[in-house]
Amino acid sequence: MSYLDELFSLKGKVALVTGGGRGIGQVVALGLAKAGAEIAIVSRTGADETVKLIEKAGGKAYSLLADVTDEKAVDSALKEVVSRSGALHIVFNNAGVCIHKDTLEASIAEWREVIDINLTGEYIVARAAGKIMIEKGIKGSIINMASMSGSIVNVPQWQASYNASKAGVIHMTRSLAVEWAPYGIRVNSISPGYIATPMSVDTPQELKDAWMPLIPLHRMGKPEELVGPIIYLAADSSGYTSGSDLIVDGAYTSM
């Protein structure tokens, strides 16, 4: 194994991916598996397709059912991961939702749904993972899914609940990074810009047309372009990186 291979290898690691049944979660789960990690996928609806893709590529994976907003279900799922795989080294805290609505049209129930999944859900998963890592003396890596929307206000769509949730994820990440540094647990977040996923198929074309001139690279990102940054944050290559928010947005937030 070359120096670079060793630096970015996840061989012997166990990685948990939430929301790994499709889109970014599915692509990243496959990427982590190709880097050598055993993958446990937690989702509300199952991730059999992702498991098959990983196994077809020669990796090892399994799927568990749990809602990230359900503390008991998450605790149970993570305990099962440790029971089945023997450890938990990496978490990609990916499950999330977005509701595009003007503030005066959106209901408080919709606000709570977005905050519960995107912020509280990530907190529940990170908390459960951190507890396991501390108890077992694992110097793990937790990667929270934030968004460039945690740093800027998207236009022309309005999504105050999503933006607020992702800003919260970024600061929660920094807070946990400092709190758990004595245990050797690194906590970072990744903030994608506009990424072309199956979910974006339902995005009105007028929104995409409005975004493109605002992106210096003049295109949406590919889910595969998040794999490298996430492997960096998961691997020993980022041993001194904690409390950081890695923005992958085609320079959108640089404008």
Catalytic residue among 63, 85, 141, 162: 162
Is 166 one of the annotated active-site residues of the chain?
A: yes
Catalytic residue among 166, 189, 194, 238: 166
Pick from 125, 109, 112: which is nearest to 43 by CA?
125
CB 2 within 8 A of CB 24: no
| Three-state secondary-structure class, residue 61 | strand
| Three-state secondary-structure class, residue 193 | coil
d(CA 161, CA 120): 13
Catalytic residue among 9, 147, 161, 189: 147
- Reading the block at residue 237, the tokens are 């290559």
Phi first, then psi: what are they for 100, rounded to 5°? -85, 105
Q: How far apart are the first and last CA of the chain?
A: 41
Kindly provide the b/e burial profile for residues 163-200, where b requires at least 16 CB atoms within 10 angstroms of the residue's own CB.
bbbbbbbbebbbebbeebeeeebbbbbbbbbbbbbeee
CB 255 within 8 A of CB 214: yes
- Reading the block at residue 133, the tokens are 């890592």
Is 162 one of the annotated active-site residues of the chain?
A: yes
Which stretch of DSSP H or E encloses residue 145? strand 141-145
Which stretch of DSSP H or E encloses residue 26? helix 23-34
The position carrying tokens 């279900």 is 73
CB 192 within 8 A of CB 24: yes
For the annotated catalytic residues, the residue numbers are 147, 162, 166
